[in-house]
Structure 1
Amino acid sequence: MVETAPGTKAPENVTSTQSSNNAENSDVPSGSSAVSADVPESDQPVVAQRAETTVHVRTDVLDVEIDTRGGDVVSTHLLKFAKTQGSEERFQLLQNSSNNVYVAQSGLIGPDGIDGKDGRPSYNYEQESYESTSEVIEVPLTYTAENGAVYRKVFTFTPGKYTVDVRYEVENNTSKTLETQFYGQLKRSVHSGESGSMIMPTYFGAAYSYDEDKFEKYDFDSMQDKKLNVTSQTGWVGMLEHYFVSAWVPKQGQQNRLYSRVANGSQAIIGVIYPMTDIQPGSSKTIESQVFLGPKDQDAMAEVVEYLDLTVDYGFLWWLAQPIFKLLQFLQSIVINWGLAIILTTVIVKALLFPLTKAQYVSMAKMRMLQPKMTALRERYGDDRQKMSGAMMKLYKEEKVNPLGGCLPMLLQLPIFLALYWVLLESVELRHSAFVFWIQDLSTKDPYYILPILMGASMFLMQRLQPTPTADPMQQKLFQYMPVIFTVFFLWFPSGLVLYWLVSNLITIAQMLIIYRGLEKKGINVRNKK
């Protein structure tokens, strides 16, 4: 049940008037009747202000703190996600500390706004904490202006949802029309996250979507060089870090302005401003928005707003990665183990590619059979490249052999490998997902390097089994070193990806033995002479 407490409280040690701390508010955008109003720069430092009073809200998935000064979300823990593997401590998305600022701010600006250069409002609140895992929680904050207008800022939390509804209820008790604009923005310390490594690159920065661009990354260096300033009837603004995202989702279908700036080179701000809202005397109006604070769960994000799920960035192979992820997700729902789902996905992929695999090894076997004739042609034509080339093409045609037949199937499999690489790297579902024994996190490297070594051994066995299509000693030497080179690279790859490659190799070995047995029955010798 939601906790209840009678009465209304004012923040401790804070009056109900607006704060005059300019340093705190130098990042608040200016209001204007024109939606394209510029966001002012400030020479004053933007410092992290400790909340004098916070309202604590806990659902089944979120643990949130709301600062009563300004009504900003200053802390968010994601209860379904551990900070590190096996840790009791929950992952913290938003926080407001001296060395790391990452908060979701919102307010009302403009001629009759209560957030601006003169300060942020200090809201009255009904209770200090709320908790429910099964019921909707509403957190009302109230501010009464000197002119008698009443501003209620209400946060709504829904069980199982990472989306928080934020609405302003403005009651105009004055004799004049009130004009105000809603803004929602994310503020983050530029150097508070990591962008991964060369082997496992992960994006840390901002992103946005609007009418003309479904999804655009907007890193902090670009934000320094050029401000975002576009108007759009659709879209959102967000901050990304590997598996997690925060995003302001404005009301769609109106002329919102997306903006950004960097304060003193240390804090990046990206936000959205609504068109001007007029509230007639004696009437009231409600202004609504949403903020998403959670994991990059594609299904959950797709329900919030269009294209927010694109924050799970599969790169240029997204069209291939998305169905692979859907297949993985379906198989995992059956076997309840992401490692087994990867194995089953590998089996399905290899079964679908079997005709290509067969064509590859048949071509390689035939090429090996042609090696004596190729050697004779080299001795016959010597350095005459033109005649040699023509004779080789004639030989290929007579023997019905495609010289690219051994390479093309392998190249066609490469996009699948790359797409799966991005799926395993970007999908939050695999974060801290155990397989068996020592593999307790498929999204990170094998801690004992057992899978990469087994993968290298399987590559070596494949090499010993497959026909050698070339007699060039240099190329043969290169092929011999391939298992070692791949093993070294795979030492740092996600263990889920190495598992895929290992299982793929083992299936390929089984397929090779079947294919070779069929070729030998036809009188084609495919065994290498050692």
Structure 2
Amino acid sequence: MDDQNRNLILATALSFLVILVWFLLFPPPEPQTDPNAAAIVETQAGSAETGMALLPPAATGDPAALAEVEAADPAAEAPRVRIETPELEGSISLIGGRIDDLSLRGYFETLEEGSPIVRLLSPVGSDEPYYALYGWAPGGDLGFEDVPGANTEWALESGETLTPETPITLVWDNGAGLIFRRTIAVDANFMFTVTQSVENTGATAARLAPYGIVARHGLPDDLQNFFILHEGVVRKVDGQLDEIAYDDIPDLDFVQREGAAAEVVEVQSDGWIGFTDKYWMTTLIPGADQPFTSVTKYVASADIYQTEARLPAMTVEAGQSAEVTTQLFAGAKEWETIRNYQDLAGIDRFLDSIDWGWFYFITKPMFWLLHNLNVLIGNMGLAIIALTVIIKAALFPLAYKSYASMARMRELQPQMEKIKERVGDDRQKMQVEMMELYKREKVNPASGCLPILLQIPIFFSLYKVIFVTLELRHAPFFGWLNDLSAPDPSSIINLFGLLPWAAPEPNSLLALIFIGVLPILLGISMWLQQKLNPQPTDPTQAAIFAWLPWVFMFMLGSFASGLLVYWIANNTITFIQQYIIMKRHGYTPDLFGNIRSSFKRKKPQGK
């Protein structure tokens, strides 16, 4: 079992090495933007008569009810309504009533002084068009010219600036008996409430269906394209959370037409759909009991990714009116904010829009604890160290047995060496005699495996928390460590800031070689911890394990500094625990030379 324990550690090390080599040989591709995608290519939400996904007339044979609309690029000088909230600033275009200009006041692109705030939504004609659009799909005798769409010129009926205290109302009269209004409200965080209404002043009934769209032209420039992180569509369908990566959207099963693909899912209640990035999200949220059609779409000819919430068709009788209210989340994926929307506003499983990963049953409570420790302490780096102490305390009963077993194994090292000398290369005989030795000395080498097995999912879970959650972005620790979500910015190449030249760019090849303070401390802490473990009897294995701390030092140097803070703290606490336990069992290792195998057994008391 001693070999199994070493093989487990070796397999973990090799896994990290494979990931590192893959990252170096196959870096994330630069996003490609279609130069011909300047105009919106928008398919209207659907048929109000059938609720079907909108297809070209040739596919349906019903051009009266189903048609395709291409929306022109809105004029740059289109009238706009300002958005001013404690968290948001931007504007709404009166062409189409688009929410297409939105920035996050509390978040900056970089830590440099004068850095612009993060821009989430941008209009068509910008470098990265990304916007929310609402409208109505016609049914019955109505045509697309009778309902508001992407190019409708709305008028501002009430309100001047959209704030949490002052909603705005847009109005459009189609001139044929239908008056459409759109009231937009926003709270103090990131949630918009959009109420679409129609008043029928004509002589006949009108049938039509409301919809909401979030469209993104091309892939985002800051796409991480990393296997541990989901980026793309996130949606909830009748209690089931689904994720579709950007790479998978063009391959969706339901093909609408040449060059376009879509997936259409009917949702009975408690659903939502949108796009999620690493830290930001834009999501359409119908009412809790509102059935709707959830659509994910890609138009290859214009390189547009699109999500839609198509609500059921309604018939508005003459002299009557109807309205429907939906919500739009557009902002930062703050854990506490999203939790409040879930728990207080009733948005089912909204907290799962944060990518908690496979070990969500560990990552979610782990982040809850980390968040509260940060609130209590006021420093995320110290909160990570406190979390490490709590985790080590919880695992200490198992660790105690493991370290005691390791101490006994170290005592048996001379006898194991004698067995190896006696049996030579006969591995089968050596294993038999080793097992007899363990049985005779009442040593269970398997007891050292469980703490390691438990720490592997904990490590990956914490890595997920640090990599994904917004709360660690730009979170300072001490001194030069001003962003725990980024690699250690110090470097050997400039003697950690003492020399006048700059350190290598993060994630560059030079940065992997000329590492900083935290990776060096990590290597030292791993080396010290390794000195307390039983040494392999095989010389090749012993040589490999001797190099592992220094290999890890370079492999993990480009990881988030918050993760290195955790691992250094974890290794340090582990070393202290193991050293004290070994001392209590009568064994004192020599850390700065060859560990002597002549440990003395503690004499029984009274002798």
Specify the TM-score bucket, using the shorter chain as the normaliser: 0.7 to 0.9
- The alpha carbon displacement at 1:271 in A equals 0.8
Is 2:45 the partner of 1:29? yes
> How do residues 114-513 of structure 1 correspond to structure 2 at under 5 angstroms?
120-126=151-157, 129-130=160-161, 132=163, 135-158=164-187, 160-196=188-224, 201-211=228-238, 214-226=240-252, 227-233=262-268, 234-263=270-299, 264=301, 266-302=303-339, 303-304=341-342, 305-382=347-424, 385-448=427-490, 449-464=516-531, 466-513=532-579
Deviations 1:415-462 (A, max 9, x none): 111111011111111111111111111111110121111111222222
Runs of 4+ in 1 over 6 A off after TM superposition: 41-47, 113-119
Q: Residues 108 and 505 (structure 1 numbering): CA distance in 2 closer, same or farther, change over 3 Å?
A: same
- The alpha carbon displacement at 1:229 in A equals 0.6
Contact 1:36-1:231 within 8 A present in 2 as well: no
- The alpha carbon displacement at 1:116 in A equals 6.5
- The alpha carbon displacement at 1:237 in A equals 0.9
SS of 1:185 mapped into structure 2: strand
Q: Residues 355 and 47 (structure 1 numbering): CA distance in 2 closer, same or farther, change over 3 Å?
A: farther
SS of 2:534 mapped into structure 1: coil
- The alpha carbon displacement at 1:411 in A equals 2.2
SS of 2:328 mapped into structure 1: strand
Deviations 1:79-123 (A, max 9, x none): 111122244521111112343111111111122476769863211
SS of 2:315 mapped into structure 1: strand
RMSD over aligned CA atoms reads: 2.6
Q: Percent identity?
A: 30
Q: Which runs of 5+ in 2 are unaligned?
A: 1-37, 58-66, 253-261, 491-515, 598-607
Q: Which amino acid aligns with 2:74?
A: Q
Deviations 1:22-66 (A, max 9, x none): 965633333332223335599997765345121111111111311
- More off after superposition, 236-245 vs 406-415: 406-415
Distance of 2:41 and 2:47 partners within structure 1: 13
Q: Which amino acid aligns with 1:37?
A: A
- The alpha carbon displacement at 1:153 in A equals 0.5
Deviations 1:202-256 (A, max 9, x none): 4332221101x62221123322111211101231111111011000001232331
SS of 1:103 mapped into structure 2: strand
Contact 1:172-1:283 within 8 A present in 2 as well: yes
Distance of 1:430 and 1:404 partners within structure 2: 37
- The alpha carbon displacement at 1:191 in A equals 2.4
Q: Which amino acid aligns with 2:120?
A: L
Q: Residues 388 and 168 (structure 1 numbering): CA distance in 2 closer, same or farther, change over 3 Å?
A: same
SS of 1:55 mapped into structure 2: strand
- The alpha carbon displacement at 1:299 in A equals 3.2
Contact 1:195-1:202 within 8 A present in 2 as well: no
Q: Residues 389 and 462 (structure 1 numbering): CA distance in 2 closer, same or farther, change over 3 Å?
A: closer
Contact 1:209-1:237 within 8 A present in 2 as well: yes
Q: Which runs of 5+ in 1 are unaligned?
A: 1-21
Distance of 1:49 and 1:201 partners within structure 2: 38
Contact 2:41-2:69 within 8 A present in 1 as well: no
Contact 1:130-1:137 within 8 A present in 2 as well: yes
Distance of 2:488 and 2:186 partners within structure 1: 39
How many correspondences in the alignment?
500
Q: Residues 294 and 435 (structure 1 numbering): CA distance in 2 closer, same or farther, change over 3 Å?
A: same
Distance of 2:70 and 2:542 partners within structure 1: 63
